[in-house]
Structure 1
Amino acid sequence: MNRSAIGRVTVVCGFLSLCGMVGVSTAAASDLENGTRLQVHLPREVTVEGNQLRLGQISVIRGAAPIVAEAGEIPLGRFSAPGQSVVLDRPTILGRLASSGFAADRVRLTGADAVVVRRQQQIVEVEDFVEIGQQFLRQFASSHSVCEIIPIARPKDLVLSGQPQDIQLKPQLVRGAVRGHVTVRVQVMADGREAGTRDVSFRLRYRRHRVIAAEQIAEGAALTVENVRIETGISDQPEPPGWTPPYGWVATRTVAPDTEIHESMLSPAQTAVLIRRNEAVLIRMERPGILVTAMGTSLQEGRTGEYVKVRNADSSRVIVCKVMPDGSVEPAL
């Protein structure tokens, strides 16, 4: 990414020097003097200071003093990066004038059909660092459900020594110390040499699903498509990978209608008891090329996936086993 840069100078005198070269007819001059007409002369190229563009910066305006002052403040956009150039053509300028109350039939455009505007650059401003940081983070936004990138810590401007002709801003991600915040470190290269770095911190906001109670849900009731609705909201935390609606989960408290249901308010639905205390069970251990079975007595009741104590019928030894979906138990080795 090449960025052109030249020293910071004032261009007002340059605009004034153009006024003597702008020729107007006697009738047009009369209109200018009585305040009924506005003349805007466009040079082919102009270099300005700052990020914000106004009509008075990029053109020579003639007419009655009050309307010249008003027209000179009409905004024309802004630069977003060092070295950027902006092309403003006549239709764009006429459109901005019209939206500010200057009718096209009272405006006379002279000079070039379009003006190329460049920014003087000897200082890399804070907005340059913020803009390049946001552009860098937007590369990851779509894959991480990021919907807002909010700057929270702005660095100082970086004053460049000399008058570099080539500026490059190189961003890289720095691990943030605060959850939900990220830091982008921007390295500034001026004519191939490092001129300095600046860190910009951002707060990220994410698009994620919200589970809302569509009606009152009693404690112990399972969530269904009928009693909850799924909405999309904004959060400071990203959505867990592979998120699915918590249908079938059980409310651990009574939930009022239109209340957002958080994970802390739910528990997995309990499965049915597969084995009961003092019940005979099959102890089964299977490994590649080997199968060992034995009978035992469960000393506890258990559900699928739970661990229970089982007494081996042959050795009377008590072992801990995992309850399998088919009702057998597997020793926990």
Structure 2
Amino acid sequence: MRSPADSGNRGLRRGLFHLATALMLNACVLSTGLSGEEAPARVEVILLPEVTVRGPQIRLGDLGVLRGDPALAARAREVIVGQAPLPGREREVALGYIHIRMRQSRLDPEHFNFLAPDRIVVRGAGRTLSPEEQIGAVEAAVRRVCNPREGEELVIEPLSTPVPLTVPEGELQLIADPGEGNAHAASIVAVRLRVLVDGTLAAMASVTVRVRRLSPVWVATRALRYGSILAEDDARVERRDVAGIAQPLPPDSAPVGLRVRRPLSAGSVLTATCLDAAPDVHRGDTITVSLRAGAIRVRVPAKALEEGAAGGEIRVVNLTGGREYRVRVTGPGAAEAILASGE
């Protein structure tokens, strides 16, 4: 039979055992908690202070290096941080905003150890098209359209310096359009320039140039009146800028003997429109008109109602019968009748 003292000792020992067990469990829990707080992050993120990105979006993987858990790092690299700046432009991305974007992608930033500045400067990748490159493309297009003649010198001068153009990286193509008619008819030409990257329009510009076409042509040596006939000392060949001048007379033409159709000042470039053939018949002249009828040829006098050169048609009136009809001038003071069908 156990004494009351033995029962009390057993109870005390049982209590001490439970207390020791509780203390050990508590120590284990505390140890586990501390080790969890001090455990290293699963992914280390090292971000650069400045980066250049290609494409329309900024991803976390574009901003630096992620290493650690392969699956988690791969997910984090694809997190879209924001829209990329335009080529040649820049924007800032804050570290706090990166954390927000990660949470929106269901990634806890607490699982990542960041080594990064507070703000990251992001630049859009691109290349700069220099003013010299733009002017070179414009000059080539103008020369191709103008197609200078033999002995003609084409001088192309930009009137202003175009600004540099920044475009995305890729296969570059410059298309300059001076306009077929503009380059030929004007001395000041505005050339449209389109910049294509990988076949897509990336930029546009306009470059204005002065076009000088230096060519040997006939010019007036002195002032010439309307209706005057060019003599040998009235014109000579000089090298002139003929851009914007229609139909200048080349040096192999023969202007001597032609008639001036409008007043010309000394030094004016002679053109096909300001000269014409001197008339062989003047208005009011009495001329001889030939009429053929088979083997019979008749000559009659007539009065010219118009002036004309050889090969041209004029109206005349018969001096004997007063009949008006048309003739073709054959030379000075001479013409042949133009018979209507059936006459």
TM over 0.5: no
Give the shorter-chain TM-score range. Answer: 0.3 to 0.5
TM-score by length of 1: 0.45
Structure (1/2) with the larger helix percentage: 2
Higher relative contact order (CA 8 A, sep 6+): 1
